[in-house]
Structure 1
Amino acid sequence: MLGFCGFSVFAVFAVCVCSAHESDVDSKVREFFKSGHTNNWAVLVDTSRFWFNYRHIANVLSIYRSVKRLGIPDSQIILMIADDMACNPRNPRPASVFNNANQQINVYGDDVEVDYRGYEVTVENFIRVLTGRLPASTPRSKRLLSDERSNILVYMTGHGGDGFLKFQDSEEMSSIELADAFEQMHQKKRYHEVFFMIDTCQAQSMFLRFYSPNILATGSSHVGEDSLSHHTDPAIGVFIIDRYTYYVLEFLEQVRSDSNHTMGQLLKVCPKSVCISTVAVRTDLFGRNPDQVPLTDFFGSVRNVEIYDEIINLDEDDKEGNSLKI
C-alpha cells in the first residue's frame, strides 16, 4: 500500500482528518472511508469465438472502453477475448469492432491490450486468474494483483444455460465452480467488494450459488429465459451487440469520473420492455445499499494521493501544527 515517510495511507488520513474540522472535510473523502477500498480492477471475459458471435466480442470491448474512459488503467484490467474479430478476414473494416449502427463507435480503438486471446481463454485460465494460482512464469500483465482493499468488476459474456457458461464451444464452467472461485478469493483476501455482471442466456443461474460476502451480482436474464441480441449491421452481416450490454453501454456513455451516478441506477437500465428478458439482481451478499454506492466504486478508479492532498490542504492554516505534512 502506498505510504508516506513510513506511514500507511490510512494512518496519514487519520492524522489529517482528526486535525481538520469535520465540517471542512469534503463529502467524497467521507465516501472514501465509507467504501473502504483503495484500488480498482476489472476482469472482462468473452468466452465465444467464430464470426457469428461477433456481438460477444463487441459486448466485452464496450465494457472495456467504458472502464478505461472512467479511469481504470490497462495495468489493472484483465481482458480475455476468445476470438479476434478485428483481424477476421470477413471484417469489412479491418482493425475495428463496432457495437452500434452506422459504425459510429469503434470499441476496438487504438490502444487495446488483450491479455488472454483465442485458445488462451479457458475455464482453467479464468479461474487461475481469479484465484491467483498462476504459474511462476506468468507475466505481471496477465495477473490479477488485487488485495483485500480491491474493488473488482467481473464482466462475462457468451453462450450459457442453466448453471453453466460455455467456453470456446468446447468446455463449460459451472456456477458451482465460479462460486467456489470467489470463495477462494475471499479466503485469500483478494477483494474488498466484487460486482459481477454477466450477459448470457439464463444469466441468473450463474450467481445463484454464490455464498461469499460483499458480492453484488446482476445478469441479463432469469433462469429459463434467453438473452437476446439487439441489432445487425448490414455491412458486417451479423448481430453486433446484445440487448442488455447495449443499454448498459448507453447508460455508461453518460457517466463521467465526477458524476453522481450510482450502482442502483445501473441495475435498472434495461427494463423488460426494452431487454425483453428480465434482468436479474442479487444484493443479499452485498453489504451496502446499491442506491448509495457510487458507480465509480467499480467502473472508475480511486485516487488516494489526490484525496490525501485535499485533506492536507484543508488544514494548512492549523496554527497548532497537528497535521502530518509531506
Structure 2
Amino acid sequence: MTPERISGTKAPVGGDLPASDRSPVGADLLPRSSSTSVDSSAPTAGQRDALAYIRSILEDFFTDPADINSLVDFAWQQILKGTSNVEIVQGLRQTEPYKREYGTVIDGQRAAGLTVSSEAEIRGYREGAAALMRQAGLPTGFYDSREDFDGYLIGNVSLSELGTRINDGYVRYLQEPDESRAELESMYGAGAGVAWFLDPGKALPVLQRQLAAASISGASIRTGYGKLTTGEAEDLASLGVTSDQAQRGFANLEDSKELFTPLNDSEDTIGRGEQIDAAFRGNANAQRRIERRRANRLAAFQGGGGAAATGQGVVGLGASR
C-alpha cells in the first residue's frame, strides 16, 4: 500500500526538531487520530493519509530509498496496530536506518559535550557543506556521502569555518607556487592536500599560520636566498609578512649578500638573524650596520680599492628588483 503523497505536509528542512526528544518525523507532526484499534485487513482512509504523510516526512530526512521503504513499512505496521504517535516516533528512532543517518553525529556531539543538532540542522549542514565543496571544485569523493560531514559536525566546525578552510586554505594552497607547496610538505607533512586543510582535528588558525609560513619560505627559495627554518618562517608569518613582501625582502637580501661576508679582519659576518631583522622587523641597529658596511664598500669601490659591488652598484635593503 503506497498512498499518494499529501501536498503541503513536508517538514521544513532547517526547522527546529531537537534530537533529544523528537524523531525525524516528530511526534507533533503525525496526524491525530481517535482510532486506537483497527482491522488490518481494511485500512481506513485516515490510516492511508497518515502513511502518505509519514512517507513525505521521511523522504525529507532520509536519502536512501531502501531506508525510506524500511521505515515506511515499520510505521505502517505500527499504524495498523493502533500504536500511538509518540510510540511510533520512539520506535523510528531506534531503527538501524535512523542510527546510520543521524546516530553517529548525535552520539558524537553528546559525547563531546556539544549541543546536539536537530535532524534538520544535520541535514542542512550536510547540504551546505556539499555546496561549498562543489563550488570550490573539490573532488566529489569529499562530499558524496553523509560520512564526509559527520566529523565536521562532531568537531564543531561551523559552515563558516568550513568555507574559510576551503577558500582561504585549500584554494589558496592550489594557487601557491610550487616552492611554497613543497615547503608545506617539508615543514608540516601536508602531503594529503585538501584533506589536510579539512581535517577537523587541526585548528583553523594553526593551518592558516602554517600555510603563511610555507608561503614565506617558498618566496625565500625563489629569490635564491635559500630555505628558511620552520621557526624563521613562522616568526615572519606571526609578524603578518605577506608572500609579496617576503619576495621583495629576500630579493633585496640576496642582492646584498656580498655585504654580509667579511672581506678583511676589520669586518665580521652579518648573520642571517640580523639580515632578517633589518629587512622585516625594522631593527634599526641591524639596518645601520648594513648601511655602514654598504657605504664603506661603495667608498672603497669608487676609490679603486676593490670590486665590492656589482655592475649595478650595491643594492640596498629598501630597494626592489
TM > 0.5: no
Name the larger-Rg structure.
Answer: 2
Decide which structure has greater strand share: 1
Task: Work out which structure has the larger RCO, using CA pairs closer than 8 Å and 6 or more positions apart in sequence.
Answer: 1
Task: Name the TM-score, length of structure 2 as normaliser.
Answer: 0.21
Tell me the TM-score normalized by structure 1: 0.21
Q: Which structure has greater helix proportion?
A: 2
